[in-house]
Amino acid sequence: MSKMATYLGLSLAQDLFEHCEKAATILQSSTLTQSGGRDTINLLRSVLTQLGTNEVFERKWTMAKQMAASLDLEIPTLPRVRQPSRRAVEAGANDAPPNYESFQEMIYHDFKSALKGLEEELARRFDGVGLQTMILIEDVLCSATAGSIVDEKIQELTQALGDDLDKATLTHELQVLKSAVKDAKTVEDVRKWMKTLQKETRQMFPETMKLLCIATCAATSTATAERSFSTLRRLKTWLRTSMTQARLTHLAILHCHREISLDVDAILREFIGANELRRKTFGNL
């Protein structure tokens, strides 16, 4: 690294990706809620806005100049302005090259462009109608279990889902949930409670079951399944080319569900007791 521009670029990139990586880790959590994902993205947007201010960039520029002086790095200058070719001019290209007064202004413009592109991508992914509907489903279910049934939210949810949802039936079901479900703070808690009921009993909550099916199939709750594909690259290496599909599947499950505690003694007993040779080799556990 012999140039100050390299150090400055790495420093800006570190600030940018550090916050994005934290948000990505939260969004991939298996326990993430819809409202939690929304709040995470809103916080990330505020952080990115703060990074794009002139005061923060001036501070980073000053730190880069001090580091360049201590490491005897080359101070960057503006590159030579390249005029468009005659062929481009004849073809009608009239895009004049930007005229910057200093290298600092040029880097700040590029950094702002990167922040703008990131903000546009966040808006495209998280400002859609679908995510707002998922958040509304979560609010309706969690509010009901907390003892508060908001008719305005139910009406808004019914309009969003159209004929797939019956408002009157859903309101009656939420009244039952209000008295039956306790300490349910997320949709997952409601789903677990519903799972404890018999199949015939669950038929008393047709509209609630619809909402649970939609909520649990949303993108924020399927990160565990997507994570298994990322795991394959670390498990199926060139040193394990002879691994069978069954072993690969078992390793992927163990890797993706590391939070589940296992009874090692029970596993050892099952392994040793599989045949006589193992019992003679390892003995009784």
DSSP structure string for 43-102 = HHHHHHHHHTSHHHHHHHHHHHHHHHHHHTPBPP-PPPPPPPPHHHHHTT---PPP--SS
Residue 44's pLDDT band (boundaries 50, 70, 90)?
very high
Using CA atoms, how far apart are residues 62 and 57, in angstroms rounded to an integer? 9
**pLDDT value, residue 203:** 86
Quote the CA–CA distance of 153 and 168 in Å, as a whole number.
13
Greatest mean pLDDT range, 43-47, 92-96, 164-168:
43-47
pTM of the model: 0.65
Contact 109, 97 (CB under 8 A): no
Displacement of CA 276 from its chain's centroid (Å) = 49
Tell me, what's the pLDDT at 96?
59
Sign of CA dihedral 162, 166, 170, 172: positive
- Alpha-carbon gap, residue 149 to 63, rounded angstroms: 54
In the DSSP assignment, the letter for residue 134 is: H
| pLDDT above 70 as % of the chain | 88
Residue 49: predicted pLDDT: 92
> Taking 90 as the threshold, does the pLDDT of residue 46 lie above it?
yes
Domain range annotation of the chain:
4-126, 129-220, 240-282
What is the rounded distance in angstroms from the CA atom of residue 251 to the CA atom of residue 50?
Answer: 43
Residue 259: which residues within 8 A CB-CB, separation 6 or more? none
Give the mean model confidence (pLDDT) for residues 7-18.
Answer: 87
Residue 116: what pLDDT? 92
Which range among 42-56, 109-123, 149-163 shows the weakest confidence by mean pLDDT? Answer: 149-163
* Cβ neighbours for 5, distance < 8 A, ≥ 6 positions apart: 76, 103, 107
Give how far Cα 98 sits from Cα of 52, 80, 102, Å. 20, 11, 12
Which residue matches tokens 């099952």?
270
pLDDT band at 9 (very low <50, low <70, confident <90, very high): confident
pLDDT number for residue 197: 85
| 74 backbone dihedrals φ, ψ, rounded to 5° | -75, 130
pLDDT tens for each residue of 206-252: 888 888 888 877 655 455 556 666 778 788 888 888 888 898 888 88
Residue with the bigger pLDDT between 178 and 16: it is 16
For residue 242, the SS3 value is coil
Q: Which of 32, 21, 34 is nearest to 128 (CA)?
A: 34
- At residue 127, the 3 state secondary structure works out as coil
Provide the pLDDT for residue 221: 47
Which residues neighbour 160 within 8 Å (Cβ) at sequence distance 6 or greater? 129, 132, 133, 136
Taking residues 117-128, what's their average pLDDT? 87
Q: Which two tokens stand for residue 241?
A: 């080319």
Q: Which residues contact 278 (CB under 8 A, 6 or more apart)?
A: 271, 272
* pLDDT tens-place string over residues 91-108: 665 565 667 788 888 888
Residues whose CB is less than 8 angstroms from the CB of residue 12 and which lie 6 or more positions away in sequence, other chains included = 60, 107, 111
Rounded (to 5) percent helix, strand, coil in the chain? 70, 0, 25
Q: What is the mean pLDDT of the chain?
A: 82
Task: Look at residue 12 and give its three-state secondary structure.
Answer: helix
Q: What percent of the chain has pLDDT over 90?
A: 6
Read off the DSSP letter of residue 205.
-
